[in-house]
Amino acid sequence: MDFSWTPEQLALRESCRRFAEREIYPGAARRDQAGDGEFDWDAWRKTAEFGLLGFPIPEQYGGSGVDPLTLCIAMEGFGEGSGDTGFMTSVGAHMVICEIPIWEWGTEEQKRKYLPKMCTGEWVGAFALTEPNAGSDAAGIATKAEKRGDHYILNGSKTFITNGPIADVIIVMATVDRSKGARGITAFLVEKGFEGFSVARSLDKMGMRASPTGELVFEECIVPEENVLGEVGKGFAVAMSTLEWERASMLPALAGIAERRLRETIAYAKERVQFGSPIAEFQAIQHKLADMKMWLELSKLMLYKVAWMKKEGKPAQMEASIGKLFFSETNRMAALNAFQIFGGYGYMKEYPIERDVRDTMPATIGAGTSEIQRSIIARHLLK
C-alpha cells in the first residue's frame, strides 16, 4: 500500500477545500439554525456545478470516474472546507449510497436514465433500508414487494432516511418473500412521482440539521419490473455492498471536518490566556490536543486503507467496519475535547464547536451501530 498522494490528487484536494471554504462554509451556521427540511438548494447547485456529485461515476454517465482513493482525499478536502457535517451527509447519501449502487448494480438502461441527472444535481438520490422495527437487523425488513404482471406493488414504510423528503429517486429495500430472510430482499428504484409513494413527514433532529431526514410510506406503490436494481432476491448483497461504500467513502469528509476542528482548537488554545499564560502551554490542554491528533491520524490511515482496497477490487467489509467504528467513536471524543478546551464559548452558538458536538453524535448509529460493527469484525475473526 502506498498512501502518498500524487501532485494531481493533492491539487484536487486543495481545489475542493478552497471551493467549500468559499461557497459552503459561510452558510453552515445558517443552515443549522434554519432547521430540518430547509435544504440549501443554492449550495447544492454550486456543488453540482463544481462537479463533486459525479466524481465516482464514469464519464459516459456524466461523471468524472475518479478512483476510490482519489474520491477519499477529495471528500476530505471538501469536508475540511465546508465544516458542515449535515450538508456533507446529504452529498454523501446522494453520491455514495445511491449513485454508486446504480452504477455497480444497475442495467445499462438504468444507468443512462438516472446517473446523468444525478451527476448534475438535477435529481437527488437517497437509500432507504431502515424501518421503524428494522434497523441493525437489516434482514428483518417488513416492507413487502408483490409481483403483479409487469410491475411490483410495494407496501411498507421507511424511517431515518437521509434526503428522503427531497429525493427524486430512492433505492428501496423490500422483501418478496419474508420467509426467506435475507434471500428474499430485493432492491427497487422508486421515483418520487410513482403512484402510492409519499413522504410522511420530515424529522426534526438534534444535529446534522442541514441534511433533510424523513419517513417514507409505500401504499400500493407501483414500481415497474425494469426498476429492480440487481436481481430479485439479491437486495441484501446490494445493501451490504452499499454500506461498505458508505463506510469507506463518506467518512473521509467527516475526517476533513475533524481536521478543521483540530486546527481551530489549536488556534484558540494559543490565544486564550489564563493565569498569565496561553492555555496551550498547560499540559492538560496539550494532552487533549495530542489525543485529537492521534485519533484523527489513525482514523485516516484506516480510511485510506479501505479506499485503497476498494480501488484494488479487494473485499473490505471488516476493514470498513474497523475504520467506521474507530473513527465514529473517537471523533465524538475529539469533539468533546474541543468543547472542553473552548470552555463556556464552546457552549455558545456563535462558535462552531456547539454544532460540531451535536453533529458527531449520530455517527455511532448510522451506517450500522458501533455494536453491529463489532459483531461484523468478530464474525470475520471467527470464520
Which DSSP string do the residues of 258-279 spell out, in sequence order?
Answer: HHHHHHHHHHHHHH-EETTEEG
In the residue annotation, 109 being an active-site residue is answered as no
Of the candidates 250, 143, 134, 135, the residue with the CA atom closest to the CA atom of residue 190: 143
353: CB partners within 8 A, 6+ apart:
261, 265, 335, 338, 339, 342, 345, 346
273-274 and 228-229 beta bridge pairing: unpaired
6: CB partners within 8 A, 6+ apart:
none
Cβ burial, residue 244 (10 Å; 0-12/13-18/19+): buried
Active-site pick, 76, 99, 244, 246: 246
Q: Strands, DSSP E only, in 90-244?
A: 125-128, 144-148, 151-162, 169-175, 185-191, 197-202, 213-224, 228-229
Alpha-carbon gap, residue 269 to 263, rounded angstroms: 10
228-229 and 169-175 beta bridge pairing: unpaired
* Neighbour-count burial for 275-284, b at 16+ CB within 10 Å, e otherwise: eeeebbeeee
Cell of 255: 475526517
SS3 content of the chain, % helix, strand, coil (to 5): 60, 15, 25
Which residues are 157's β-sheet partners?
Answer: 217
Which DSSP string do the residues of 332-372 spell out, in sequence order?
Answer: HHHHHHHHHHHGGGGGSTTSHHHHHHHHHGGGGTTTS-HHH
- Active-site positions? 246
